[in-house]
Homo-oligomer: A and B are copies of this chain.
Amino acid sequence: MDSRMIAFVEKKIAFVERMGLAVVTLAPGYVKLSAPLKGNENHIGSMYAGALFTLAEVPGGALFISTFDVTKYYPVVKEMKIRFRRPALTDVTIELSLSKKEVRRIQADVDEKGKAEYELNGEIRARSKEVVALSYGLYQMRANGS
């Protein structure tokens, strides 16, 4: 993995760094991130909704930098949805991926129109592998200068 990319994901945004979000795996088309329960508890001791949201939002950007040419394009998050299924009582992880076919589609769209939309669906899992939350993100990739 590229240490500069990992540092960007974990430390570039202070809000993200403060919650202890960490890269487990970062590769073209695939990212796995983790967040500790400790320091991110709500008033009843499970993980606070805003921490779960942040864990679901960051991988959109992380996948972007590991998959596309950041000297030519940048991502914008347009919309996020998160459904909380059960309390998160342990550290949690999320995995997100973009297929090679979808990467080609996004690249073709941005080359043609100067921007391209893409969706990411994630599952946040507790240590038990139980899904604690489901996320949906709508992102837009834009060519620099557009």
A contact set with B: CB distance below 8 Å? 8, 12-16, 18-19, 39-43, 48-51, 53-54, 57-58, 76-84
Contact = CB atoms under 8 A, between A and B. Distances in A.
A77 B84 contact: yes
A70 to B, nearest CB: 11
A58 B53 CA distance: 13
Number of copies: 2
B18 A18 contact: yes
A137 B43 CA distance: 19
Contact of A81 (B16, B39, B81): B81
Q: Which 5 A-B pairs have the closest CB atoms?
A: A50-B54, A81-B81, A53-B53, A15-B48, A79-B83
Contact of A15 (B19, B57, B83): B19
Contacts of A53: 50, 53-54, 57, 80
A42 B13 contact: yes
Given A84-B77, A84-B79, A39 B14 contact: yes
